[in-house]
Amino acid sequence: MLGTTIILAFRAINRHKLRSFLTTLGIIIGVAAVVTMVTLGNGATAAVREQISSLGANVLQLRPGQGFGRGGGGPRPPDFKEADLTAIQNQLTGVRAVAPIVQSSGTAIYEGNNWSTTVYGTTSAYSEVQQWKVAEGRLFMPEEEEAGKAVCVIGNTVRTNLFQNNEPVGQRMRIKGVSCQVIGVLETRGQGGFGDQDDVVIMPIRFVQRRFTGDRDVSQIMVAVDDAYDTSTVQTSLEELMRERRKIKPGAEDNFNVFDTKQISDTLTGTTTILTQIVGAVAAISLLVGGIGIMNIMLVSVTERTREIGIRLAIGAVAREVLMQFLVEAIVLSCLGGLIGLFLALLASIAIAPLMQVPFLFDVKVNLIAFLFSAAIGVVFGYFPARRAAGLNPIDALRHE
């Protein structure tokens, strides 16, 4: 019997192609909007998560001052000392690796090519904290680190802009007027939320301190927490240790801050998830409007086809069959609309994702839910008109002009 009603539904839809298309337009747009929004939103969330995870998992960033900036007025909070580093390493439990960072910006020159970039002075522990890998060459050795030798590992952006197609490893380049030897190239990490992560030059900290900053201060300390330990516990003891070492009186505010990268990650992905949900909800309303459109046309259709219903009833259709016919018609319409909408969403997502610089992630679950939702709209909004059709009296229906 279902087969029969489906045949009848397709015949009826086929008889009124344009009207059927216009009826489903609401569903098409609704489904396309919802699925595109959610797909792009998920892509954005994934992109954020990817960028954050590239900062390293379970890493605490220790910076002077409060917040990301250095703050407005007041004396500039002091940088960290190398002794702080040793203290963290020796006095805290659960620390896997500690890496100091001294940052400086300057121009790198190679055979007439100039490139403005950021120089990070650090130790080999940095690679353990950040999980950076070298694509070519090597990282610096502890002896080079200790001696502050003029060696550097460059990011891919620096490589492309300075060396073009030349092999950089083993070459000498100048950075801020000082000659240094390229010993390695980092693996490409791509655009991050914090700028181009490949636009870096990494050098031994001693070198940067001696030649560029002129003191032995450390501007940032990265603390990698052992997987077996809870990051927040280590964070608390790190804060206590630093208050003690920086002689902050009880009750006074910290003049340093500790960032848990996981916390940032959770916050940012949480934000994008909420945005996705809000936009998705707005789009879902358009689906609802589409459903009302279907009900509207189905009601008109029932009135217009009263005589047809009368004929069917006279011929011997039972009420349930007439109900099913109109219900199936509504469901077929909304399902067709849903499928077309999914297809459009696929095209739109593929087209827009690169423009938004987010990955295109085909989510089977989202597509399935949207499709089932459009089918459900057919059932809900088709039921009322269908029941009206089924309830018609055959004699009156036949007389209907």
Partner 1 sequence: MADEPIISLRGVTKVYGEGPTAFQALKGIDLDIAQGDFVAVMGPSGSGKSTTMNILGCLDVPSGGAFLFKGRHVETLDRDQRALLRRRYLGFVFQGFNLLSRTTALENVELPLLYRGEDKKTRYDMGMAALDKVGLKPWWDHTPAELSGGQQQRVAIARAIVTQPDVLLADEPTGNLDSERSVEIMQLLTDLNRNSGITVLMVTHEPDMAAFARTIVHFKDGLVERIEAKAAA
Measured distance CA(139)–CA(137) in Å, rounded: 7
Among 202, 302, 317, 342, which residue interacts with partner 1 (rule: CB under 8 A)? Answer: 317
Among 83, 318, 347, 350, which residue interacts with partner 1 (rule: CB under 8 A)? Answer: 318
- Other beta carbons within 10 angstroms of residue 395's beta carbon come to 10
Min separation Cβ 369 and partner 1, Å = 34
Measured distance CA(47)–CA(302) in Å, rounded: 49
Q: Is 330 in the site for partner 1 (CB under 8 A)?
A: no
Q: Which stretch binds partner 1 (CB under 8 A): 76-84, 103-111, 171-179, 393-401?
A: 393-401
Q: Which stretch binds partner 1 (CB under 8 A): 3-11, 33-41, 71-79, 168-176?
A: 3-11
Q: What is the DSSP-derived secondary structure letter of residue 133?
A: -
Residues in binding contact with partner 1, number by CB under 8 A: 23
Min separation Cβ 7 and partner 1, Å = 7
Q: Is 4 in the site for partner 1 (CB under 8 A)?
A: yes
Min separation Cβ 395 and partner 1, Å = 5
Q: What is the DSSP-derived secondary structure letter of residue 249?
A: P
Q: Which stretch binds partner 1 (CB under 8 A): 18-26, 211-219, 311-319, 332-340?
A: 311-319
Measured distance CA(257)–CA(267) in Å, rounded: 17
Are 341 and 18 in contact by the 8 Å Cβ rule? The answer is no
Q: Is 316 in the site for partner 1 (CB under 8 A)?
A: yes
* Residue 220, beta-bridge partner list: 101
Min separation Cβ 328 and partner 1, Å = 13
The residue among 278 and 314 lying less far from partner 1, judged by its C-beta, is 314
Q: Is 250 exposed, middle or buried (0-12, 13-18, 19+ CB in 10 A)?
A: exposed
Q: Is 392 in the site for partner 1 (CB under 8 A)?
A: no
Are 370 and 342 in contact by the 8 Å Cβ rule? The answer is yes
Q: Is 9 in the site for partner 1 (CB under 8 A)?
A: no
Measured distance CA(177)–CA(265) in Å, rounded: 38
Measured distance CA(265)–CA(51) in Å, rounded: 9
Among 76, 133, 172, 307, which residue interacts with partner 1 (rule: CB under 8 A)? Answer: 307
Min separation Cβ 305 and partner 1, Å = 9
The type of residue at 152 is C
Between strands 178-186 and 151-154, the pairing is parallel
Q: Is 308 in the site for partner 1 (CB under 8 A)?
A: yes
Q: Is 332 in the site for partner 1 (CB under 8 A)?
A: no
Q: At CA 188, angle to CA 186 and CA 190, rounded to 5?
A: 135
Contacting positions for partner 1 (CB under 8 A): 1, 4, 7-8, 11, 15, 307-308, 310-321, 394-395, 398
